[in-house]
């Protein structure tokens, strides 16, 4: 019976490719499912053989620790150089995005309050 090993929903393509390569290098028998035409199916990597689960899980655990460490180091390098993304840098780069978000929040609050007053609450 197939066993879910690694969900690919929200995973960057470079990480998914590295996981595929890792499993292939260590001769882990797996297959991949995609999200389908409408994106409602589960994109994931599945093991064909349940006996390989422990081996595959150990490989993924080591890989994910390494990836997290690399990402943390990269962020600290950017922060030391003053190039990391902050709220104010993001606001400066995309001010319209903030205005759209604030407009959406204001509209949601307005509609919620108006419905309450119309119902007499």
> How do residues 55-81 score in pLDDT, each as one tens digit?
999 999 999 999 999 999 999 999 999
> What are the boundaries of each domain within the chain?
1-84, 85-121
Query: Using 50, 70 and 90 to split pLDDT, how confident is the model at 108?
Result: very high
Residue 120's pLDDT is 76
Partner residues linked to 45 by β-bridges: 6, 32
Asked if 44 and 7 touch (Cβ cutoff 8 Å), the reply is yes
The pTM score is 0.73
**Backbone phi and psi for residue 84, each to the nearest 5 degrees, phi listed first:** -75, 155
The top-level CATH class assigned to 1-84 is: alpha beta
Percent of the chain with pLDDT over 90: 84
CA–CA separation, 82 vs 35, rounded Å? 38
Residue 121's pLDDT is 67
């Amino acid at each position: 019976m197939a066993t879910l090993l690694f969900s690919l929903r929200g995973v960057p393509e470079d990480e998914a490719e590295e996981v595929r390569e890792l499993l292939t290098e260590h001769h882990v028998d797996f297959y991949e499912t995609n999200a389908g035409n409408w994106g409602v199916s589960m994109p994931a990597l599945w093991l064909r053989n349940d006996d390989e689960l422990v081996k595959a899980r150990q490989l993924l655990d080591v890989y994910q620790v390494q990836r997290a460490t690399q990402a943390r180091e990269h962020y600290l390098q950017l922060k030391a150089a003053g190039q990391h993304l902050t709220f104010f840098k993001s606001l400066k780069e995309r001010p319209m995005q903030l205005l759209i978000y604030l407009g959406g929040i204001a509209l949601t609050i307005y509609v919620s309050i108006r419905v309450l007053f119309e119902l007499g609450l």
